[in-house]
Structure 1
Amino acid sequence: MRLTKPGVVTVTLNAAIDQTLECPGFTAGAVNRVVAETRTPGGKGINVAAFLAGGTRPVTATGFLGEDTVPLFETLFRERGIQDRCLRLPGSSRVNIKVVDRTGGAVTDLNLPGLRVPEEALGALMATLDALAEENGCFVLSGSVPAGVPASIYATLTERLRARGAVVAVDTSGAPLRHAVAAKPDFVKPNAHELEELVERPLRNAGDIARAARELHATGIGLVVVSLGADGALFVSNDGAWRALPPPVEVASTVGAGDALVAGVLASRLEGHDLETCARRSTAFAAAKLAKVGPVPPAPERVAELLCAVRMHPLGTG
């Protein structure tokens, strides 16, 4: 990935407050006691911006924020040096609740609805992106699509931004992903389930997933990365195909792990690293993030430690 303009912009249409509740022995239908609570600003693009901030390239966040929950996001942007070009809408950004039961090893997700985006706000976002494309060469379109926004939005934005010479990465699911891949972004990162929905057939093992990733790459998408959770990720590009497996790590929160992978891939590829190096570095970065709650980049020393422990497997052509 070679940029003609240095900056990276992340686009978050459905920002969120990520609320994590530590609840030992959580039981549905019973009275449960929470022993700890954490609230962090989130949404996939917001997370990617936080992970990329502090690097060699300027980072800008745009998209939509609910006016009632803006302070949490503004604090993050100020602390991480992220340029804030988000549009404010009346109301609150959605809340995603994770109930974590460490004794039972279970996590329960409760995702509340988000803002409804009026048509005029979508037009204002288009104008903002056009202006940002004047000085920024890479755009990350990620996360779910809120009410009032067509499922084809990421395809529309991909075509619009690529026509302006930008590199475009997409990380979403369902109908928005299906539309987006038809517009041929430069980089997509589905997980295994999202890829299965996209190709409309069961993917029962790593071989099936690799074949489906190759099919997606063959449509004209330069880089396909399939996240596999604790089993690492598959990477397919014109440079070949690799599977990266991280070592076992202590997990404080899985929220944002996929976004850390996206940020790691972009940082590595934009620095000119080959696919194997990119796969190793981004997998180590994502694994190291698991020890942190919220969009907090891991310590470079921890990433370096895990880098040596990532197992790399080249994938054949079958």
Structure 2
Amino acid sequence: MIVTVTPNPSVDRTLTVRRLDHGAVMRATSSWSEPSGKGVNVSLALSGHGYASRAVLPIGGVEGARLETMLRAAGLDYVAVPIDGDIRSNVSVLEPDGTVTKVNEPGPELSDAELKALIDAVVTIGERAEWIVGCGSLPVGAPAGFYAELVGAARRTPARIAVDGSGPPLAAVLAAGPDLIKPNAHELAEAADRPVETLGDALAAAHDLRERGARSVLASLGADGAVLVDEDGAVHGEAYVPETRSTVGAGDALLAGFLAAGGKGPEALRSALGWSAAAVRQPGTVLRADDEDRTGDVTLHDRVDTRRRLRHS
């Protein structure tokens, strides 16, 4: 079983428009709402494809009740940690060419007792888990060391520990020695305090983060695929995607696919890229159960072209 913890979950509403005009009044051509937050997305992708997963998340307020209704409808196994505040609601505006404009609320402020209850719930379930995965932004006022504390507490279980965070929480967790971190190119550059403009830069930054404590680094690079850097070396992979509808949630699908395939080695990277490729071919946030991974469209490179420039730079 894979246990995820989402400290700052949300209800995500997606609106599709023919074109986003700044300052104009527009009509949406369609809309829908989904349960979200990075850990929730990972658990939904896993459970939707037949992998056992349980999501741990704070729940409070009107939006929290709405989120629980959605999770039950999706059939997701979850543990709700009650909080006094109301969880957040995010809005994405999707254009026909796949461009997404996303507005995220900050979310509620959790008390020290609520944050502790969240970690305690994860550790209790973690006794039966293969992986414990901390994902996403932290609630307002939460200490940057929250994920480091989670890793330390989770070491009391037999589970391996992964973290998908950013900014100070990602930097702070490194010394705690997570088994896996999953930054994107921007987060990788920020954590390593160096530019990431080529594949060589990405590898160097990933090695830096391993030297600071992370055992493995799975870095998502957008259109340039992903790199896996661990004790066995480095592998770069990319997936052929003929049409991109939305990139929201692609990184969560990448992590879910990697963990579903064991969370280690080139074949797990192949699975990760296949799941991510499926995610960008659909609108919305969550990789749906009827979306097949396309590992046949994935190419792995044992010898990384370190001079290749990333397309985001």
Q: How high is the TM-score relative to the length of structure 1?
A: 0.88
Residue 302 of structure 2 aligns to which amino acid in structure 1? P
Q: 1:285 touches 1:298 (CA, 8 Å); kept in 2?
A: no
Match for residue 143 of structure 2? Answer: 150
3-state secondary structure, aligned to 2:301: strand
CA contact under 8 A between 1:140 and 1:168: conserved in structure 2? yes
The answer to whether the aligner puts 1:185 opposite 2:178 as a matched pair is yes
Tell me, in whole angstroms, the C-alpha distance in 2 between the residues paired with 1:317 and 1:206: 7
CA RMSD of aligned residues (A): 2.2
1:245 aligns with 2:238: yes
Q: Partner of 1:33 in structure 2?
A: 27
Letter in 2 for 1:94: R
2:274 aligns with 284
User: Where does residue 200 of structure 2 map in the other structure?
Assistant: 207
- Contact (CA 8 Å) 2:182, 2:255: kept in 1 or not? yes
Residue 70 (1) aligns with residue 60 (2)? no
Kindly state the Cα deviation for residue 76 of structure 1 after the two structures are TM-superposed. Answer: 4.3
Change (3 A) 1:108 1:57: closer
Aligned mates of 1:310, 1:64 — CA distance in 2? 36
| Structure 1 residue aligned with 2:78 | 84
For the Cα contact (< 8 Å) 1:155–1:183, is it kept in 2?
yes
* Equivalent in the alignment of 1:3: none
Gapped regions of structure 2 (runs ≥ 5): 307-313
Contact between 1:289 and 1:298, CA under 8 Å: does it hold in 2?
no
3-state SS of 1:280 partner: helix
Alignment-derived partner of residue 227 in structure 2: 234
Equivalent pairs, count: 305
Aligned in 2, Cα 1:112/1:316: closer, same or farther, shift over 3 Å?
closer
Using the TM superposition, give the Cα deviation of residue 258 of structure 1 relative to its aligned residue in structure 2, in angstroms: 0.5
Residue 312 of structure 1 is matched in structure 2 by 300
Find the residue that maps to 2:261 and give its secondary structure. helix
Give, as a single letter, the amino acid of the residue that structure 2 aligns with 1:312: L
**Structure 1 residue runs without a partner (length 5+):** 1-6
When residues 208 and 296 of structure 1 are mapped into structure 2, their CA distance, relative to the original with a 3 A threshold, is: closer
Give the C-alpha shift of residue 296 in structure 1.
3.2
CA distance change for structure 1 residues 181 and 309 in 2, over 3 Å: closer, same or farther?
same
Could you tell me how far apart the structure 2 residues matched to 1:35 and 1:55 are? 29
TM-score (norm 2): 0.89
Q: 1:25 to 1:77 in 2, by over 3 A?
A: closer
Alignment partner for residue 296 of structure 1, among 282, 287, 291? Answer: 287
Q: Deviations over 1:72-104 (max 9, x none)?
A: 43344334543221213234321221112225x
Distance 1:126 1:150 in 2: 13
8 Å Cα contact 2:274/2:298 also seen in 1:
yes
Partner of 1:4: none
